[in-house]
């Protein structure tokens, strides 16, 4: 019996509405995501241009570099900008992203305090162009964006890195959301399997439902010690509207949207994912199945505001973190 204690039965999973890889691939990605639409989300530059066209806020584009010849002019391009980020358009998993917090006397200062010269910046851009960070080593384009000023109320919940919000959008309805908080264990990265804390969010309010680190429940941020129960994402409605609008923008039926909150500009779209993972079910303590089934019964062509309202009404939940004495005691 002890051998089986780490295992559960498929019937229990089905009762909870948990979706497995196979079901996600066949029933949702295979059926709702048309292959020819993938490049729209796999190339961040295309996503960004599309987002601008559809009025979806995203970090402002300073410029792009697509030829090694253009690398020499990068200094002029950056002139007058304070902080900025350089990203490979086809990078994945946060690879090749260089953040410059501010510029002092021709020196570029990273958040860690390290100083880079313009030559260092040029070498980094040149590496991006030659495909060092792109999938399969294909030649790539470097994107230069203005820096995001993170919402201060959320900074207490993260260690070093960027807290980002993942919303699963199914047929245009936001169905489930979580926030990923980087920790010392995850080395400042927001990857759940590397030890970042995942916080399930109430679709109705943007308040935390429950926290999970390494698949186990957790109630405070392991590094900052901040109580997760007090976490509420500001401007939640705007964020949901943005996320839901990505359906019209891409045409992808089963979509993972990654958002961040800017101090001045509010929610912004960071990137899209046509094959979002299933860990969001762990952070919410709930399977996607029932929500997806409900959405599949809804008619097509419903406007964004109505879809968001529908989701907020049907997917509201009570937090497991606050005032629910029995759940706290078992920690």
Partner 1 sequence: MSRLPFYLIVGLLLVAGIAASVHRHIQFEIPWLPGEQRQVWEVEAVINFNAQGGPVEVNLALPTHQTGYRVLTENTASSGYGLAYQGDERGRRAQWTIRNAAGNQQLYYSVQMLVSPEARAPIQAPPQLTSSPWERPYDTAATQLIERAWARSANNMTFARELIRDINGEAQGENARLLLTQEAPSALIVRLLNQADVQAREVSGLLLEDGRRRQPLTTWIQVFDETAETWSIFNPVTGEQGRPENLLLWEMGGRAVLEVQGGTNSRVSFSMMTHHQPASAAVRNHHSDDTLLNFSIHSLPLEEQALFQTILLIPIGALVVVFLRVLVGIKTSGTFMPVLIALAFIQTSLLTGLIGFLLVVAVGLVIRSYLSHLNLLLVARVSAVIITVIAIISIFSVLAYRMGLNAGLTITFFPMIILSWTIERMSILWEEEGPKQVLIQGGGSLLTAVIAFLAMNNSLVRHITFNFLGVQLILMALILLLGNYTGYRLLELRRFKPITEDEQTR
How many residues at the interface with partner 1, by CB under 8 A?
39
Cα angle 248-191-102, degrees, rounded to a multiple of 5? 85
Contact between 23 and partner 1 by CB under 8 A: the answer reads yes
Residue carrying the six token digits 């021709």: 106
Q: Which of 6, 112, 297, 323 binds partner 1 (CB under 8 A)?
A: 6
286: contact with partner 1 by CB under 8 A: yes
Query: Nearest distance from residue 146's CB to partner 1, in Å?
Result: 27
Instruction: Give the Cα separation of 278 and 292 in Å (integer).
Output: 13
CB of 26 to partner 1, least distance (A): 5
User: Exactly one of 169, 212, 249, 274 binds partner 1 (CB under 8 A); which one?
Assistant: 212
Q: Which residues make Cβ contacts (< 8 Å) with residue 108, sequence separation at least 6?
A: 100, 115, 116, 117, 118, 120, 121
Residue 21 binding partner 1, by CB under 8 A: yes
217 is a contact residue toward partner 1 (CB under 8 A): yes
Candidate segments 59-67, 100-108, 123-131, 156-164, binder of partner 1 by CB under 8 A: 123-131
Query: Contact between 290 and partner 1 (CB under 8 A)?
Result: no
Measured at the alpha carbon of residue 90, what is the angle toward residues 88 and 92, in degrees to the nearest 5?
90
Q: Is residue 222 part of the contact set for partner 1 (CB under 8 A)? A: no
Q: What percent of the residues of the chain are helix, what percent strand, and what percent coil, each to the nearest 5?
A: 35, 25, 40
- Segment contacting partner 1 by CB under 8 A, of 18-26, 53-61, 251-259, 261-269: 18-26
DSSP conformational letter for 73: G
CB of 281 closer than 8 Å to CB of 147: no
Find the binding residues for partner 1 in span 296-325 (CB under 8 A).
Answer: 320
Q: Is 102 left (phi over 0), alpha (psi -120 to 50) or beta?
A: beta
Give contact residues for partner 1 (rule: CB under 8 A). Answer: 6-10, 12-14, 16, 18, 20-23, 26-27, 31, 93, 95, 127, 130-132, 136-137, 194, 212, 215-217, 281-282, 285-287, 320, 326-327, 330
């Amino acid at each position: 019996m002890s051998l089986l204690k780490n295992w559960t039965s498929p019937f229990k999973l089905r009762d909870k509405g948990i979706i497995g890889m196979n079901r996600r691939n066949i029933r949702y990605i295979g059926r709702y995501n048309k292959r020819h639409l993938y490049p729209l989300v796999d190339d961040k530059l295309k996503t960004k241009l599309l987002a601008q066209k559809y009025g979806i806020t995203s970090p402002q584009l300073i410029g792009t570099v697509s030829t090694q010849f253009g690398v020499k002019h990068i200094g002029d391009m950056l002139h007058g900008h304070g902080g900025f980020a350089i990203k490979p358009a086809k990078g994945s998993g946060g690879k090749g992203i260089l953040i410059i917090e501010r510029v002092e006397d021709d020196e570029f200062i990273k958040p860690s305090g390290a100083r880079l010269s313009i030559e260092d910046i040029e070498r980094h851009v040149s590496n991006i162009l030659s495909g060092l960070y792109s999938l399969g080593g294909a030649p790539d384009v470097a994107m230069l964006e203005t820096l995001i000023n993170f919402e201060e109320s959320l900074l207490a919940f993260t260690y070093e890195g960027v807290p980002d919000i993942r919303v699963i959008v199914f047929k245009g309805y936001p169905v489930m959301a979580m926030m990923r908080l980087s920790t010392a264990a995850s080395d400042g990265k927001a990857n759940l399997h590397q030890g970042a804390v995942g916080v399930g969010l109430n679709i109705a309010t943007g308040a935390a439902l429950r926290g999970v680190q390494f698949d186990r429940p957790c109630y405070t941020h392991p590094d900052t010690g901040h109580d997760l129960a007090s976490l509420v994402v500001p401007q939640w409605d705007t964020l949901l509207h943005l996320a839901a609008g990505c359906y019209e923008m891409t045409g992808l039926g089963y979509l993972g949207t990654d958002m961040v909150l800017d101090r001045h500009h509010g929610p912004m779209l960071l990137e899209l994912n046509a094959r979002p993972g299933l860990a969001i079910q762990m952070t919410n303590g709930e399977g996607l199945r029932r929500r997806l089934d409900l959405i599949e019964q809804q008619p097509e062509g419903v406007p964004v505001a109505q879809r968001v309202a529908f989701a907020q009404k049907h997917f509201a939940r009570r937090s497991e973190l606050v005032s629910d004495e029995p759940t706290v005691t078992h920690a």
